[in-house]
Amino acid sequence: MDSIISVKNVTYEYKNEDAYRGEEAVVAAVKDLSLEIERGSFTVILGHNGSGKSTLAKMLNGLNKPTSGDIFVDGINTKDEEREIEVKRKVGMVFQNPDNQIIASIVEEDVAFGPENLGVPPKEIKERVNDALKSVGMLDFKESTPHRLSGGQKQRIAIAGIIAMQPECLVLDEPTAMLDPKGRAEIIETLIRLNKEKGITVVLITHYMEEAQNADRVLVMNDGEIIADDVPKVIFSDVERLKKVGLDVPQTAELLYNLKKNGFSVDTHALSIKEAAEEIIKALHSEE
Amino acid sequence: MLRDITFGQYYESHSVIHKTDPRIKIILLILLIVFIFLAKNGFALGFAVLSVITIMLITKIPIKLYFKNMKAILPVLIFTAVLNLFYGESGRVLLSFWKLQITTDGVSRAVFMATRIILLIFISSALTYTTTPNDLTDAIERLLSPLKFIGLKNAVHTLAMMMTIALRFIPTLIEEAEKIMNAQKARGADLENGKLTERVKALIPILIPLLISSVRRAYELAEAMECRCYNGGEGRTRMKQMHLKGRDFVVLGASLIICGGILTLNILL
């Protein structure tokens, strides 16, 4: 497997100060975790709050350094301070709140921020900005001010700002958590397109199940560990385990699971509404 | 309405002055202000008045807007004019009471001072109405860039970056303040009534959450900037390049003629 990111036995610990009791405890947010992200893949990391998924995300581009173990991006150790910029350029990062990621008051100037920092010549920056805005479908808003755009549009600008640095991998830490359903759909569509058309590796961290449906691979995290790693269909059919770690299951998966439990012969791997409906029709026919 | 504050006073009317390089505009503003104050006699000042009116007309911005800016400065204007009235050293005495006297010289000083201040307001408004705050920030950074030769390179870049971020976050923070205010009102906070001390006290539950959230935002922004390979001003390029064009030289030339005119009238008459 050609992997863009390899995580090797990584543990991340932080001090949790309890100011009220005056106690200090060392908490491990990520425990001895190993993981390979394949180049060009679309990986979704699921987990409820406090499962360590955000901590893991911030380690993937060297923003946080592992307490023990190593992370390699395209062969570069993220602990190598001399190549820090190179790591951050290769692995772009998008956060939850688009408002706190946008630096300039004009869309195109904000998208240009990354390439400007990298010292790209002005003429090429212009091309990159146009390309990046086009790839997120925001070229028409080039000269607008970000604060007049919707949440989904702002988040697409934030993604364009990363794309303009021409990264090989895009890590998104709950990019849809603050958006309305329409904005969420826009972001997911954009990510699928970037993955398919530009071949950019996508690592999407989320707690929305529906967003995992289009992934090549789904990882489920709980308490700093990966407890499941498979294609979406298999992950979602294991309803009991998902519920145990505090995650919601897509409605179709839960319906099929309950039908099967009650003696109907359905395939619980059906994910979309259409597939599920066909399964149920098939099951009803076989009952007759 | 409040959210448009990032645009400052910018008013789009597609004039030549709008398109002029902001660096040229800033330099010319300083130059013209100096020459307006250098105008010694009525002819020179009259010429300056005519020139400023011409500039105002070229900007195609409604004259009404220029007078709007005057309101704020009116007390200062009246104060300066009145003070100057009593400073006449020569000339015919027009009025005299107690130890003070108003002479013809004093009247002309007052008129000169008032006219100069009015011109100053008009000409600075012409800059802020025709230039977006972003362009102003950019131009200031570039004009100050020679400072890097005396070891202040990072200071100039940092200052410009701070201005950019401040401009960007003004509307965001205003929105946030409105949200917090509404949330506190919904909990029964009374922000409009009461004595001054009570109203100041009522602001505390708004300012504290605003401050905390700003610090959080700053932290997140710093992380986002780091992820976008920000590493200070070193080795940074800019997408927007400023190049002087033909019309910039025309504007520059016209302004130099105004300055020359004022100087000539000063000497000749």
What are the structural domain ranges in chain A? 3-231
Residue B94 has pLDDT above 80, yes or no: no
Kindly report the average pLDDT of chain B as a whole number: 85
Q: Is the pLDDT of residue A139 over 50?
A: yes
Q: Residue A247 has what pLDDT?
A: 80
A18-32, A174-188, A265-279, B59-73: which is most confident = A174-188
Q: Which two tokens stand for residue A249?
A: 């299951």
**For residue A240, is pLDDT > 70?**
yes
Q: Is residue B238 part of a domain?
A: no
Q: For residue A267, what pLDDT is reported?
A: 79
Both B94 and B206 in one domain: the answer is no
For A176, the token pair is 């849809």
Q: Supply the pLDDT for residue A19.
A: 67
Do B64 and B160 sit in the same domain of this protein?
Answer: no
pLDDT at B221: 95
ipTM value > 0.90: no
Q: How much is the pTM?
A: 0.81
Both B120 and B47 in a single domain?
yes
The closest CB to that of A105, out of B168, B231, B237, belongs to B168
Which of A160-164, A166-170, A278-282, B52-56 has the lowest average pLDDT?
A278-282
Same-domain check for residues B17 and B124: yes
Burial group, residue B200, by CB count within 10 angstroms (0-12, 13-18, 19+): exposed
Weakest mean pLDDT among A107-121, A139-153, A235-249: A235-249
From chain B, the residues in CB contact with A105 under 8 A are 6, 133-134, 164, 167-168
In angstroms, the separation between the Cα of residue B236 and the nearest Cα of chain A is 5
Percent of chain A with pLDDT over 70: 99
Core vs surface per residue B37-62: b (16+ CB within 10 A) or e: eebeeebbbebbbebbeebbeebbbe
- Which of the four pLDDT bands, split at 50, 70 and 90, describes residue B247? confident
Structure tokens at A171: 């890590």
CATH number for the domain formed by residue range(s) A3-231: 3.40.50.300
From the CA of B137, how many Å to the nearest CA of chain A?
12
**pLDDT above 90 for B199:** no
Close Cβ partners of B197 (under 8 Å, ≥ 6 residues apart):
none
Q: Is residue B239 part of a domain?
A: no
Give the model's pLDDT for residue B3. 46
Same domain, B169 and B252: no
CB-nearest to B237 from A108, A120, A148 is: A120
Percent of chain A with pLDDT strictly greater than 90: 53
| pLDDT recorded at residue B1 | 40
Of the candidates A216, A206, A270, the residue with the CA atom closest to the CA atom of residue A239: A270
Query: Min CA distance, A92 vs chain B (Å)?
Result: 7
For residue B234, tell me if it sits in a domain.
no
Same domain? For B102 and B151 the reply is no
Give, in degrees to the nearest 5, the angle at Cα B160 between A83 and A159. Answer: 50
Asked if the model's pLDDT at residue B90 lies above 80, the reply is: no
Q: Are residues B121 and B176 in the same domain?
A: no
Query: Among A49-63, A227-241, B3-17, where is mean pLDDT lowest?
Result: B3-17
Do residue B217 and residue A115 have CB atoms under 8 angstroms apart? no
Residue A18 has pLDDT above 80, yes or no: no
**Using a CB-CB distance cutoff of 8 angstroms, which residues of chain B are in contact with residue A162?**
227-228
> Is B13 in the same domain as B79?
yes
Range of the domain at B78: 9-132+244-268
Let me know whether B162 and B205 are in one domain: yes
Q: How many domains does chain B have?
A: 2
Please give the average per-residue pLDDT across B129-155, as a whole number: 82
B39 and B168 in a single domain? The answer is no
Q: Assess if residue B139 is contained within a domain.
A: no
Query: Can you tell me the distance from the alpha carbon of B22 to that of B130, in angstroms, rounded to the nearest whole number?
Result: 9
Position with higher pLDDT, B167 vs A218: A218
CA separation for the pair A60, A258 (Å, rounded)? 38
- Are residues A199 and A40 in contact, defined by beta-carbon separation less than 8 angstroms? yes
Q: Does A85 sit within 8 Å of B239, measured CB to CB?
A: no
Q: Which of B1-15, B29-43, B53-67, B195-209 has the lowest mean pLDDT?
A: B1-15
- Which of A56-65, B20-29, B43-52, B64-73 is least confident? B64-73
How much is the average pLDDT of A191-217?
90
**Predicted confidence band at B263 (pLDDT cuts at 50, 70, 90)?**
confident
pLDDT of residue B8: 63
Q: How far apart are CA B127 and CA B10, in angstroms?
A: 9
The string of DSSP codes covering chain B is -GGGGGGTT------HHHHS-HHHHHHHHHHHHHHHHH--SHHHHHHHHHHHHHHHHHTT--HHHHHHHHHHHHHHHHHHHHHHHTT--SS-EEEEETTEEEEHHHHHHHHHHHHHHHHHHHHHHHHHHHS-HHHHHHHHHHHHGGGGGGT-HHHHHHHHHHHHHHHHHHHHHHHHHHHHHHHHHHTT---SSS-HHHHHHHHHHHHHHHHHHHHHHHHHHHHHHHHTT--SSTT---SS-----HHHHHHHHHHHHHHHHHHHHHHH-
Pair B127, B23 in one domain: yes
**Would you list which residues of chain B are within 8 Å, Cβ to Cβ, of chain A?**
3, 6, 133-134, 164-165, 167-168, 171-172, 175, 217, 220-221, 223-231, 235-241
> Is the pLDDT at A206 greater than 70, yes or no?
yes
Q: How far apart are CA B141 and CA B164, in angstroms?
A: 11
| Domain presence at residue B232 | no
Q: Same domain for B109 and B157?
A: no
- What pLDDT was estimated at residue A34? 92
* Choice between B215 and B97, residue whose per-residue pLDDT is larger: B215
3-state secondary structure A207-274: CCHHHHCCCCEEEEEECCEEEEEECHHHHHHCHHHHHHCCCCCCHHHHHHHHHHHCCCCCCCCCCCHH
